[in-house]
Structure 1
Amino acid sequence: MSGPVSTVDAPPDLADTGHPEAPCVEIGDSREATVGRIRVRRALPRRGRRTVGAWCFADHMGPADVTEDSGLDIGPHPHIGLQTVTWVTDGQVLHRDSLGSEQVIKPGRLNLMTAGDGVSHAEEATGHYRGTLEGIQLWVALPEATRHGPAAFEHHAELPHADLDAGAGAATVLVGEFSGATSPARHDTPLVGVDLDLRASATVPLRTDFEYALVVLKGAVAVHGRPLHPGRLGYLGEGRDELRLEVREPTRAILLGGEPFPEPIVMWWNFVARTRAEIDAAHASWAAQDDRFGRVRSALPRIPVAAPHWQRAEGER
């Protein structure tokens, strides 16, 4: 579920990135794709809406059947300029990275990997879990101050919870602060990510300086009478101090928010950068298998990739 981003999701330039809007309900379709061997619904990025705060990627994976020896099956691949935030709602996944981390992620626990100037990782079957796999992977664009820094990995076995309206459900704070509860996970810009487990209609508190979006994993909610189902991204704009969610069936949704990201980004494959030249350099390092991205101890094959399309177009002239 770790990418890759294609030009269908977002053109690899600074155009058409989307701008923060006043409070709104802007609903767009996710794009279905296959990552590894799992079907995903990619809600972000999409044309016209590349970021929500610093959040720049959202893949809802599954549900899918996996075995002890066959799961996501995503071999070693590189990242720059981002954090991967992995949240499993059902099943288990094994994460391995070039820092030497080896961590099984289970429901209720969070994996967060900071790429900085370069890291590589693989997402694999656990060797022991058989059953259903479902979850979401999110990317956070790193700001200029930390995007060239060292790679890092953290795993949080416990996360804080916040109560919603009486009997309406509960919120798990993945990143940032929500309703008085603060996650221990690292974040380099003001942002928040919350798993909402809803049993009835609820009003959730928001920050007026954040823009927000909602990704429904199961069930359905309505915002101002506009229904939002799995497979859609509901962009909510900025300037709200609360959000009323109308719930008619049990619903699981991810609320994403943050201060509008001030730095235009360029996205290609598994890279988040500022220029095509940075992406060219990262691609060259991965192709050359130099030391920039390290090595992952994985039995899965390393994932190759062709040169960016702009290099191929120049070569054809």
Structure 2
Amino acid sequence: MSNLEEHPVSQECVADPRGGVEVITAREVPLGGPRAMRVRRTLPQRQRSLIGAWCFIDHYGPEDVSTSAGMDVAPHPHTGLQTVSWLFTGEIEHRDSAGVHAMVRPGELNLMSAGHGISHSEVSTPDTTILHGAQLWLALPDAVRDDDHGFDHFAPEPVTAGGAQMRVFLGDVGMRVGDERVRADSPVRTATALVGAEIVLPAHTTVTLEVAPTHEHGVLSDRGDIAVENESLAVGELGYVGVGSPTVVVANRSDTSGRVLLVGGEPFTEEIIMWWNFVGRTHDEIASYRAQWEAGDVRFGTVEGYRGPHPRIPAPEMPTTALRPRANPAPHAGSTRGR
């Protein structure tokens, strides 16, 4: 998915070094023209721009795309990152300049690595009525960010405990409900230590997620009356939990089923600049990526088979001041809600 903001900015990373749960409230961003979908963006924000290597989270739907333009994201570029596509409902067609043509379906991971450079398109299929899911990005560390592009697909088998169901699409996560305990992992390799999982909680159910205490984590509320470590989350909010605990407790307090996404990983210690659809390290790098995309450079290739109304997404103008890398936030949660 593309960042379609007309005036994207680099994000300053700040954090409160206290313990507890830091609640990050999403901001709404339009995904295209006036009839297009709106998405809820929890990362990046000034409050916090990284959770492990996770640097971008868009949460969208459920939306009846039969009455709107749906998702139609024309070819656009990426560098230095990986895209993670995860759907709850609907179907999206993915095409990229490496020649990959794949469908994104509920409960199946599609992970595209941009590396040195790639372009891709994403379009909801004609048979999709309700579209509901999340698009996430991972920042690649310096050692591999200039590697070739790649693509992985994985459909995790669900595991259950106490009626709760978990699908682990990245990393390794355990789950306890009462005396029942399960664990699952993903074979998908990542450049840094990460976790990603979908958890469905029956009504009035509490799960204890067993995680690495050296990782920081975020829990995105998709539906239900969700609480993380007793901190309530509205739908679309993200509860951040810093390093130091081997568990994250998630409760569904509602009378109906609830669902969350768990993301996490080892703190990402490199300074990065994220502007528009690029992750780099210096202003000049970002400016070069933009110029190459606008010039049709071979770095980003060509997406074959896309038939939308616009052949490509043009890059926004560069800001008038120099982009600077920002230090990553401290991996400790603040106890106040984000503003």
Which ranges of structure 1 fall in alignment gaps of 5 or more residues?
A: none
242-251 or 77-86: bigger deviation: 242-251
Letter in 1 for 2:273: V
Match of 1:233 in 2: 238
Please give the TM-score of this superposition, normalised by the length of structure 2. 0.84
Distance 1:312 1:265, change over 3 A: closer
| Aligned positions of 1:43-192 closer than 5 A | 43-67=42-66, 71-127=70-126, 129-156=127-154, 158-164=155-161, 166-167=162-163, 169-179=164-174, 180-192=183-195
Distance 1:6 1:242, change over 3 A: farther
Whether contact under 8 Å (1:75, 1:122) holds in the other structure is: yes
Whether contact under 8 Å (1:53, 1:210) holds in the other structure is: yes
179-188 or 131-140: bigger deviation: 179-188
Whether contact under 8 Å (1:22, 1:237) holds in the other structure is: no
Letter in 1 for 2:198: D
Letter in 2 for 1:197: V
| Whole-Å separation in 1 of the counterparts to 2:275 and 2:40 | 18
Does 2:293 match 1:296? Answer: no
20, 30, 42: which one pairs with 1:24?
Answer: 20
SS of residue matched to 2:48:
coil
Whether contact under 8 Å (1:95, 1:123) holds in the other structure is: yes
For residues 275-306 of structure 1, the C-alpha deviation after alignment (integer angstroms, 9 at most, x for no partner) is 11111010000010111100002112200023
Match of 2:217 in 1: 212
| Whole-Å separation in 1 of the counterparts to 2:231 and 2:91 | 34
SS of residue matched to 2:88:
strand
Q: Say what the alpha-carbon RMSD is for the aligned residues.
A: 2.2
258, 281, 289: which one pairs with 1:282?
Answer: 289
Which ranges of structure 2 fall in alignment gaps of 5 or more residues?
A: 175-182, 324-339
251, 255, 260: which one pairs with 2:262?
Answer: 255
| Whole-Å separation in 1 of the counterparts to 2:210 and 2:5 | 32
Does 2:13 match 1:3? Answer: no
| Whole-Å separation in 2 of the counterparts to 1:149 and 1:89 | 31
SS of residue matched to 1:310:
coil
| Whole-Å separation in 2 of the counterparts to 1:306 and 1:228 | 34
Letter in 1 for 2:123: E
Distance 1:18 1:311, change over 3 A: closer
C-alpha displacement at 1:225, in angstroms?
2.8
Match of 1:202 in 2: 207
Please give the TM-score of this superposition, normalised by the length of structure 1. 0.90
